[in-house]
Structure 1
Amino acid sequence: MTFMNRGMQNKKQRTAVVIIVGIVLVSFVASIVAVSIL
C-alpha cells in the first residue's frame, strides 16, 4: 500500500498508471462488444 501511495504522488508514474488502466478498460470493452456482435 505504501508503494502505491508513493507511486500516486509521482506525476509521471501516475500518468503511466492511468494510461495502463485506460488500455485495459478499452480492450475489456472491445472484447465485450466483439462477443455481443458475434
Structure 2
Amino acid sequence: MDETSRSKLWDDYSRTKSTQIRETLIIEYSPLVKVVAGR
C-alpha cells in the first residue's frame, strides 16, 4: 500500500470510525508492530 492510500485510510477512519477500515489499518501495520515488539 502506498503512502497516499494509507493517508486516505487514516482520514476516512478519523471521520467514520469504521471497523472495516480499522481492521485494514491493523493488518497494514502488523509487521511494524512485530518488529517493535521484538526489540
Task: Report the TM-score, using the length of structure 1 for normalisation.
Answer: 0.43
Ranked by relative contact order (alpha carbons within 8 Å, sequence separation 6 or more), the top structure is 2
Which of structures 1 and 2 has the bigger CA Rg? 1
TM-score using structure 2 length: 0.42
